[in-house]
Chains A and B, each alone.
Chain A
């Protein structure tokens, strides 16, 4: 499945090669169902972390009967180590906006929002200019779809789509039970399509270059190219667009500082992969596709890394369900106790079990994914947790 090599590609950030909203104009001439088929056929999966097939989401949304439907661009980007959405909104906002408009066209939505994290408020003036340009074009094209910016207020969990919707409705950002999914019951109880910034930009590019061309990139499991936010012990920190399907070994060779000990793939919600597993790990397969890659070299204490993550989780848990609210605190206290010698090393095994229980019993992806980084660090760097 793997192509084992690392290929840097230039699809998403390629400069605008056409007039503003040319992609949209051409797509509006196509049959809606055909556009959805193309997105399905392209194999594009959501770039926000969960990896749901985008075309399928749009298809289900198109089937919903409702007087109004909403499209929301999820620009909450709170996963530590992720900053690609910011870069997209700065460098190629028209691709993002085009993707939203195409989604609206094929699903029948008339109102859109960019849910922008509060930390990115400095992006607003430029984005507003871009939206003004879009609205002029939409009018000319006869597309009934307007877009507003909604500012978040600082809460990681609001990146979760139902928490995001709660927050837009003026409430605490506490995730809802699913089902019903937002495409059925979303913002103000209306069908709502939530996609990540990069997902919209990729959709626009699929419409631009055609799905056959797009499909040539990547592997059977992971189609296309993807943005990676590279940070940590790397001489090449920044956002890089790479073809999917490369091994972590190739990745570390390209981006590490020659002394890479571990890479955290998929952010704090993802997995910490130790050097000995680089060869057999394909980025994007089985690990989350949010694209955060944090590189640690041998000078880093993995206890310190895990402590920082758990601190993050304990703070960002919305507190709505017990396994996550109490579990995150207990894991944090637990590793402190083992490090201090108050608890025996075997206590770590109990903590891993606790984190597994959290996966099964927590209400949303936040509590469910704590075990990913927790178990992978505790299992692979056990000595560092103890001594």
Chain B
């Protein structure tokens, strides 16, 4: 995995190779490769001179440092109480139907991962979700069909 090696070098050049550079480096890898592969974590361990178990232990602590969800587009639907009250379930069901996957899964072509997450700070406009860094609010099944439909058709 020459690419991973180069990427990690590039990121440690940018953020430093100290322990406090770890999270920015891991985030940089995800921005490029969509998730943290085993190879990537081993490479970071080598670069920062920390054990691979430490790197994995840290990464697995954080919900945005994906070690499993490989999708290029990560859909994170808020499941906390007020979004739940306002109809989160029907929003999720609609997307499960469209993508033919369940929450926690990634589509076969590795474009979409559908996830639920805790409060994302948009409670006054719930139900709310993030697709990567973009936020979408006041969701309804119809609205979500349009938003996700656009991704499915136009964003690769």
B121 touches A237 (CB 8 A): no
A363 CB to closest chain B CB (Å) equals 16
Q: Which residue of B lies closest to A156 (CB)?
A: B118
Q: How far is the CA of A154 from the CA of B26 in the complex (A)?
A: 13
A86 touches B121 (CB 8 A): yes
Chain A residues lying within 8 Å of B19, measured Cβ to Cβ, are 169-171
Chain B residues lying within 8 Å of A277, measured Cβ to Cβ, are none
A239 touches B124 (CB 8 A): yes
Surface stretch bound by B, among A16-24, A40-48, A73-81, A333-341: A73-81
Surface stretch bound by B, among A103-111, A175-183, A201-209, A224-232: A224-232
Contact digits for A111-128, partner B, Cβ 8 Å, 1 yes 0 no: 000000111111000000
Chain B residues lying within 8 Å of A150, measured Cβ to Cβ, are 24
A119 touches B121 (CB 8 A): yes
Q: Which residue of A lies closest to B25 (CB)?
A: A170
**Other-chain residue from A169, A230, A232 in contact with B20 (beta carbon distance below 8 A):** A169
Surface stretch bound by A, among B1-9, B79-87, B145-153: B79-87
Chain B residues lying within 8 Å of A3, measured Cβ to Cβ, are none
**Other-chain residue from A170, A233, A305 in contact with B21 (beta carbon distance below 8 A):** A170
A237 touches B124 (CB 8 A): yes
A185 CB to closest chain B CB (Å) equals 15
Query: Once A and B bind, how many residue pairs between them come within 8 Å at the CB atom?
Result: 117
Known: A170-B20, A312-B80. A155 touches B61 (CB 8 A): yes
Chain B residues lying within 8 Å of A296, measured Cβ to Cβ, are 85
Chain A residues lying within 8 Å of B79, measured Cβ to Cβ, are 308
Known: A83-B124, A122-B134, A151-B27. A308 touches B20 (CB 8 A): no
Q: How far is the CA of A264 from the CA of B80 in the complex (A)?
A: 13
- Is B57's CB within 8 Å of the partner chain A? yes
Known: A172-B57, A237-B125. A167 touches B23 (CB 8 A): yes
- Is B103's CB within 8 Å of the partner chain A? no
Q: How far is the CA of A177 from the CA of B42 in the complex (A)?
A: 31
Please tell me the number of chain B residues within 8 Å of chain A, measured between CB atoms: 36
Chain A residues lying within 8 Å of B122, measured Cβ to Cβ, are 83, 86
Q: Which residue of B lies closest to A118 (CB)?
A: B64
Known: A294-B81, A294-B82. A77 touches B64 (CB 8 A): no
Contact digits for B1-40, partner A, Cβ 8 Å, 1 yes 0 no: 0000000000000000011111110110000000000000
A170 CB to closest chain B CB (Å) equals 3
- Is B71's CB within 8 Å of the partner chain A? no
A173 CB to closest chain B CB (Å) equals 6
- Is A238's CB within 8 Å of the partner chain B? yes
A170 touches B22 (CB 8 A): yes
- Is A91's CB within 8 Å of the partner chain B? no
- Is A315's CB within 8 Å of the partner chain B? yes
What interface size band does chain A fall in? 35 or more
- Is A360's CB within 8 Å of the partner chain B? no
B118 CB to closest chain A CB (Å) equals 6
A29 CB to closest chain B CB (Å) equals 35
Q: How far is the CA of A79 from the CA of B62 in the complex (A)?
A: 16
Q: How far is the CA of A256 from the CA of B135 in the complex (A)?
A: 27
Chain A residues lying within 8 Å of B125, measured Cβ to Cβ, are 237
A230 touches B61 (CB 8 A): no
Chain B residues lying within 8 Å of A343, measured Cβ to Cβ, are none
A343 CB to closest chain B CB (Å) equals 24
A173 touches B134 (CB 8 A): no
Shortest 7 CB-CB distances between A and B: which pairs? A170-B22, A154-B63, A153-B62, A154-B64, A237-B124, A231-B123, A80-B119
Interface residues of A (CB under 8 A from B): 77-83, 85-86, 117-122, 150-156, 167-173, 188, 229-233, 237-239, 264, 268, 294, 296, 300, 305, 308-309, 312, 315-316, 318
Query: What would 5 more interface pairs be, CB under 8 Å, given A119-B117, A153-B64, A170-B20?
Result: A85-B121, A151-B27, A153-B63, A231-B124, A237-B125
Residue pairs across A and B with Cβ atoms less than 8 A apart, 16 shown, are: A79-B119, A82-B123, A86-B121, A153-B64, A154-B63, A154-B65, A167-B23, A170-B58, A171-B58, A172-B57, A172-B58, A230-B124, A231-B124, A232-B123, A294-B82, A312-B118
